[in-house]
Structure 1
Amino acid sequence: MLPYGISDFRDVKLNNYYYIDKTHFIPKIELYGRYLYLIRPRRFGKSLFLNMLALYYDIFYKDEFEDVFYDCYIFKNQTKEASSYHILKFDFSAISTKGDIDKNFSDYCNSDIKKFITKYKLNTSIDENITAHKNLKNLFDFAQQNSISIYIMIDEYDNFINNLLMHSQTDYQKLVSSKDEAIYKEFFKLLKAGTSDNSSALKKMFITGVSPLAMYDVTSGSNIGTNITNEYAFNSAVGVTKDELQKLLNHYKIDSKLDIDDWYNNYKFNRDIKESIYNTDMILYYLKSLYLTNRPPDNMVDLNVRTDYSKLRYLVYTDNKLNGNFSLLQELFGNGYITTLELKDSFSAFELKKTSNFVSLLYYLGLVTIDKYYRGEYYLKIPNQTIKRIMGEYIQTALEESDIFDIDLSKFKKSMQEFAYDGSLNVFTYLANEIKERSKVRDYTSGESFVKGFLIAYLGLSPYYGVLSEVERNKGFVDILLKKAPNIDDDIFEGLIELKYISRNKFTQDELDKQVIQAKKQLVQYNPEGFEIGVVVVFNGWEMVYCKIFSK
């Protein structure tokens, strides 16, 4: 069985779910230090990985070790630390941000501490009338006196606090940086103290999350452990490699010639890595449908992968107006990449208006990934069509909420259907007319890259296509390629779009003719065939002045 949506490692192994063996990372983890944290995008397999570590190190499950790990790498390569710790595990995604947040956090942690005491039958108790960090301090003291070695694991350490940040920076600030006794901050202060005390009962710690924001703010920028996020050795600790995918396909006898790399692949978490990895959830979502129904899912984008627009909304607004961060997203769509001199592994949530911090956050959230490292600079791109569609929706919603560009999406999608099945160019005419009618949007469609980015973002909202840019074809590069999505069975038209741009002050009929001729020459080079349509589109500033199908 495919473990789609299942993160309980013991359940996966004992109930015969397919498991992609990641236990060979255990010796590497021990080499890198006792206190570690790993940042990865949502739905990448972090929870399953952490639960695997928990079962491996947990003295409580020592008698089940062979039943669980018998077919894993680590079974024949056990380390000395196997089955030797008392595991205290927290999952902060379970904490509610409604009501009294301090109380919610403390009640949740106290409950897990109480379960820990019960599980190991320890001769101590908790005081439910005091805060969690005080109970944890008492537990540490008890464990130290009784020579008990504790391994703390925190999954989604920043989940609830990131949700809080998106809705109220004031509440977030109170929790992480208040001069008063902020319980979340005090909790991490205690953990940090435990990591620096040689006699502490806290012997090891492993933390996962989706960004370094809360870790920076709650520790005032000081390290609580070693960040292994961008280490070469751990690039594929979670996620799926090509080899792992091939073994999975062979196991289920699924045709290995799947055209899904554009949709689910291309993540890199180190600049020297050559082979990219797939998002775990995306792959299992797609394969589950193939296995159960013998066809791809109706929607190529799994709803579970989406990050709510509200979680990015506050990043692109200043004083209720779209800011420079939004322009950066447009640049990303238009140029196909953005650059930064560094990927910062530590920065505050209060400094996200800084471009370098915003770019780094996009990277940690999985909205961009490393394309290359050249001349001391990172080139970052949108990893795949799934993320491109999600980010296109961000842009569309932001423009709509700002009363800048609000189109009838049902009409737009209908025009995309007409292109797909009839080869109609109404979709370009419709978008161009809407731009012409809405003067506010013109400030966001000036310049060739912004026009291109605008088109890519909106064309990507269609369920029929993946939208690729600068695709190499016969020693040339197609501006925009509308490539049929893998879940579309019908024979539909695909588009090779050559986009030309003439600034408002340089337009003449001769210049237009020149640009059209050049575009046609490029389409001859690309050689559209079969159901492929070559399309020449020319914009004069924000106004489309030419749009025709290319005929050989």
Structure 2
Amino acid sequence: MIKFPYGISDFHRIRTDDYLYVDRTAFIPVLEEAGRQLIFLRPRRFGKSLLLSMLANYYDVKTTGEFDTLFGNLAIGQQPTPEHNQYLILRWDFSKVSAQGDLEHIRSSLFQHINQAIKDFVRQYQAQLTFSVDIYDDDALGSFQSVVNVAKSSGYTVYLLIDEYDNFANDVLIQDTTDAARYRELLQGEGILKTLFKIIKASASEGKIARVFITGVSPIVLSDMTSGYNVATSIYLDEDFNSLCGLTENELSTLVQQTAQSCALPPTQTATVMETLQQFYNGYRFCADMTQTTVYNPTLCFYFLRHYQKKCQAPEKMLDGNLAMDAGRIRYIAALPQGSTVIDHILDEQNPAMLQELENQFGVENLREVQQDSHYMLSLLYYFGVLTIIGRNGLGKLILGIPNLVIHSLYVERLKQHALPRTQDEQWASHLAEQFYQTADLQPLADFMEHKYFAVFSNRDYCWSNELTVKTAFLTLLFNDTWYIMDSETALQRRYSDLVMIIRPSMRHYAPLKDFIFEFKYLKLDDLKLTGEQLREKSVAELEAMPPVQKALQDALVQLRQYRPVLESKYQQPERLYCLAVVALGFERVVWRLLD
């Protein structure tokens, strides 16, 4: 049985309590060569804190006697670098700093955290420190200068590890997008953070700090602090470190094989488990080099495999609560003046979002651009982990896309909340969708779409075809990753306007559930030579009898006949597969037909 370290970022505990550790120590020599002060960005829950913990244990003078236990059978254990176990480790975690209240409250929280870390440092290294450290309750910057001076005087240098350096500054920004004052006070002029990093820079240049490793999520603070700290090397877009955090395909495949053995799964079922993980958790690329493999979200993979190992079946919910904050990041972007247009564009598979290059430093002077310029918004979404690099176009522009289905669900949920803000409407829509999964009768949902949904979608500033708009509207009502995989593009080689709903392998034992393929068509009111009011007065039978509607239905049915054999062959249950042609008449009426 594998002890998956779900939610555990303590390297020492993982290694001494026999938890799984996916070896990243081979990167240590490369990191040492990259620079003495490094900045590394990754989305939340990608293993940054565990990386820092591993580095702390490797370089700490206090773990010298445990080196073989901690690193002996890892890559670095065979050829350690000369710097192992040479430093005193000082760690800060800015996710523990509160962004609530005014500047003085934030300053107080930051100083309390720094001072507490220094007190822990002094207790940890009391045998190494030959002088006492002065700790100032109202001046943690002075405390910091005192501790590095004492370490140097005692014959040691400090390795400073800063986790989530941008956390509370980002929170200040996101809490109120119109209030740049607190953010400016934190970072510009002689702001707290800027002053702090100037002291770090000076201490490093004086030989008191040997190395600095900083992690965070986005570069939104960097341009505001770089004048005070312009010596760090940014490695977060370097292809050499694409897989420094995250799981590779080979690593995950090995874990799936081990899990499958504990559940005595046949090879076909093992392959199905791997396919599910690929669809829901893979797809992240952290550099512009398209030859680099995509990586998996490790936290979600461990969440899934831990459950599978215990129950020998997949968890019902593919998204655990650890990504709730990612949904908040999407809401933040969507709430900006041009944010909803950016979110709409991201969901347009025919015309994907593109950038010449990612914005890699922006701060308070760019707030207007962040709120209005799609380049900044798309870059932020990339750093948040809800967009990734999926390719380049003919001119070398980066093509951005949603990495996987679990992130896709966050976008869809955002659209649904916007379209159905009233709880009772959302609950009724979910009830109608659940009925449809079992009956394949689309009419109740079509009626709901006509009366409740189309008014919202018709007013949106869509930059794509209306056919895709109709698909998006139905997707938001039907999306359900508990029972369904809402994508089979590879299997079908389908056109983008189709919506495919395949029952998840772990849910196929629920007999009432059905598989679905949709083909959507859109007819403009001008083409129909009718007004919206005239359409609303017609019966369904009258709508179906209209020649443009008949043609659109027949065209859709022809395409569905081409798709159906592919899925019938793949899933071997043709009796569960229902193919639906759906025609939207403006944003007024819906006509649909099942393929015989």
Query: Normalization by structure 2: what TM-score?
Result: 0.85
Determine which of 379, 383, 386 is the counterpart of 2:399. 379
Counterpart position of 1:505: 526
Larger radius of gyration: 2
Distance 1:299 1:468 in 2: 17
Paired amino acid for 2:139:
T
Distance 2:203 2:209 in 1: 6
Distance 1:266 1:112 in 2: 37
Matches within 5 A, 1:190-269: 190-195=199-204, 197=205, 199-219=206-226, 223-252=230-259, 253=261, 255=265, 256-257=270-271, 258=273, 259-269=276-286
TM-aligned CA distance change 1:7 to 1:474, over 3 Å: closer
Distance 1:469 1:291 in 2: 27
Distance 1:500 1:35 in 2: 55
Counterpart position of 1:72: 74
Distance 1:183 1:474 in 2: 54
Determine which of 48, 51, 70 is the counterpart of 2:50. 48
Q: Is the 8 A contact 1:281 1:305 kept in 2?
A: no
Matches within 5 A, 1:131-146: 131-146=139-154
1:299 equivalenced with 2:317 (yes/no): yes
Counterpart position of 1:433: 450
Counterpart position of 1:449: 468
1:545 equivalenced with 2:590 (yes/no): yes
Distance 1:11 1:211 in 2: 29
Counterpart position of 1:363: 382
Distance 2:180 2:393 in 1: 40
How far did residue 213 of structure 1 move? 0.7
Q: Which runs of 5+ in 2 are unaligned?
A: 530-545, 569-573
Counterpart position of 2:558: 521
How far did residue 312 of structure 1 move? 4.2
Distance 1:398 1:3 in 2: 36
How far did residue 497 of structure 1 move? 0.9
- Render the CA deviation track for 1:465-522: whole Å, top value 9, x for unaligned: 2322755526766611112234424142111111112233223644333322221111
Distance 1:406 1:540 in 2: 28
Between 1:305-314 and 1:374-383, the stretch displaced more is: 305-314
Distance 1:339 1:456 in 2: 23
Paired amino acid for 2:6:
Y
Counterpart position of 2:113: 108
Counterpart position of 1:177: 187
- Render the CA deviation track for 1:433-484: whole Å, top value 9, x for unaligned: 2446x74542127633333333333432563223227555267666111122
- Render the CA deviation track for 1:127-161: whole Å, top value 9, x for unaligned: 23332222212223333444422111111112222
Distance 1:221 1:444 in 2: 44
How far did residue 93 of structure 1 move? 1.3
SS of 1:352's partner is helix
How far did residue 539 of structure 1 move? 1.7
Q: Is the 8 A contact 2:148 2:208 kept in 1?
A: yes
Q: Is the 8 A contact 2:201 2:229 kept in 1?
A: no
Counterpart position of 2:165: 157
Determine which of 292, 313, 324 is the counterpart of 2:338. 324
Between 1:478-487 and 1:514-523, the stretch displaced more is: 478-487
Distance 2:217 2:506 in 1: 30
Counterpart position of 2:533: none
Aligned residue pairs total: 540
Paired amino acid for 1:234:
F
Counterpart position of 1:59: 61
Q: Is the 8 A contact 1:90 1:154 kept in 2?
A: yes
Paired amino acid for 1:383:
P
Q: Which runs of 5+ in 1 are unaligned?
A: none
Paired amino acid for 2:356:
L
1:495 equivalenced with 2:506 (yes/no): no
Q: Is the 8 A contact 1:482 1:496 kept in 2?
A: yes
How far did residue 13 of structure 1 move? 0.4
Q: Is the 8 A contact 2:95 2:168 kept in 1?
A: yes
TM-aligned CA distance change 1:35 to 1:189, over 3 Å: same
How far did residue 76 of structure 1 move? 0.2
1:94 equivalenced with 2:96 (yes/no): yes
How far did residue 17 of structure 1 move? 0.5
Paired amino acid for 1:408:
D
Counterpart position of 2:432: 415
TM-aligned CA distance change 1:427 to 1:97, over 3 Å: farther
SS of 1:285's partner is helix
Q: Is the 8 A contact 1:416 1:462 kept in 2?
A: no
Distance 1:221 1:518 in 2: 63
- Render the CA deviation track for 1:272-308: whole Å, top value 9, x for unaligned: 2342111001100011111112221121111112216
Distance 1:432 1:527 in 2: 26
Paired amino acid for 1:200:
G
TM-aligned CA distance change 1:411 to 1:220, over 3 Å: farther
Paired amino acid for 1:331:
H
Paired amino acid for 1:325:
G
Counterpart position of 1:333: 347
Q: Is the 8 A contact 1:40 1:209 kept in 2?
A: yes
How far did residue 335 of structure 1 move? 2.6
Counterpart position of 2:295: 277
Distance 1:310 1:250 in 2: 35
Distance 1:504 1:13 in 2: 66
SS of 1:468's partner is coil
TM-aligned CA distance change 1:142 to 1:374, over 3 Å: same
SS of 1:98's partner is coil
How far did residue 89 of structure 1 move? 0.8
Determine which of 576, 579, 586 is the counterpart of 1:534. 579
How far did residue 220 of structure 1 move? 5.4
1:2 equivalenced with 2:23 (yes/no): no
Q: Is the 8 A contact 1:389 1:460 kept in 2?
A: yes
Q: Is the 8 A contact 1:176 1:214 kept in 2?
A: no
SS of 1:548's partner is strand
TM-aligned CA distance change 1:280 to 1:497, over 3 Å: same
How far did residue 526 of structure 1 move? 0.6
TM-aligned CA distance change 1:134 to 1:453, over 3 Å: farther
Q: Is the 8 A contact 1:445 1:454 kept in 2?
A: no
TM-aligned CA distance change 1:312 to 1:474, over 3 Å: closer
SS of 1:307's partner is helix
Counterpart position of 2:536: none
Paired amino acid for 1:443:
N
How far did residue 12 of structure 1 move? 0.3
Paired amino acid for 2:407:
I
1:346 equivalenced with 2:361 (yes/no): yes
Paired amino acid for 1:380:
L
